[in-house]
Amino acid sequence: MGARHLTDEKIAEIKQLRAECWMYADIAEKVGVHEQTVGKVCRSEPALEATVEQLAEWQAKQKGRKSAYLKAYYLEHKQELNQKNKEYRLTHSDQCAGYSARRRARIRGATWDEPVSREEVFALQDGVCYLCGAQCTQDNWHMDHVIPLSKGGEHRYTNLAVTCPGCNLSKQAKLLEEIEA
């Protein structure tokens, strides 16, 4: 049914629902017309100014709908999503480790001007642990902040170093002077 074949009552109902900040799809479902018809009716009138309260109410309603949908989708597809995430983390371990490092840096308020590449840190230091001098392998090394983020260190190349896992885990959030003492 086109917009020109609607009854005055349906047109008034569409305009009223739109004034209440309903979405076109919801109006179409309630009134029993196509979504494009709702759009034509609403565009034929001057734009309706929604009040701040109406807009806030609409946003809250949409947020609730979206979160409910996402939660239901997750619960229905939990195993598939977890399996996909696990496969991604295994095949993209460097990107995941980089993301994790950037997130920790942001949380601790560290500053950085440039994105940091794990591969580049490894290549710049030839894969040699700066604490013990051991040669690390490409798939078994940690990227360490020489001055820990928790002590004001920055997340940039000048503060990053290659460490073997044992050295990095024993160093924790200490400065070099604290380790040697």
* Domain identity same for 38 and 95: no
Instruction: Please say whether the beta carbons of 149 and 108 come within 8 A.
Output: yes
Asked whether residue 129 is assigned to any structural domain, the reply reads: yes
Asked whether residue 43 is assigned to any structural domain, the reply reads: yes
pTM for this structure?
0.49
Range of the domain at 122: 87-180
Asked whether residue 42 is assigned to any structural domain, the reply reads: yes
Tally the domains of the chain: 2
* Domain identity same for 51 and 95: no
The per-residue pLDDT for 80 is: 96
Beta strands in the chain (DSSP E): 142-145, 160-163
The per-residue pLDDT for 1 is: 47
Cα–Cα distance between 54 and 71 in angstroms, integer?
26
* Domain identity same for 49 and 121: no
The per-residue pLDDT for 19 is: 80
* Domain identity same for 109 and 33: no
Asked whether residue 136 is assigned to any structural domain, the reply reads: yes
| Cα dihedral 120, 145, 158, 128 in deg (nearest 10) | -50
* Domain identity same for 159 and 96: yes
The per-residue pLDDT for 44 is: 65
Asked whether residue 130 is assigned to any structural domain, the reply reads: yes
In this structure, what CATH number is given to the domain that contains residue 174? 1.10.30
Asked whether residue 99 is assigned to any structural domain, the reply reads: yes
* Grouped pLDDT means (10 residues each) for the chain, 181 residues: 68 84 86 84 61 71 81 93 94 83 78 79 93 91 89 86 92 84 53
The per-residue pLDDT for 136 is: 93
* Domain identity same for 98 and 33: no
Asked whether residue 131 is assigned to any structural domain, the reply reads: yes
Asked whether residue 135 is assigned to any structural domain, the reply reads: yes
The per-residue pLDDT for 63 is: 77
The per-residue pLDDT for 76 is: 94
The per-residue pLDDT for 52 is: 62
* Domain identity same for 110 and 166: yes
The per-residue pLDDT for 51 is: 60
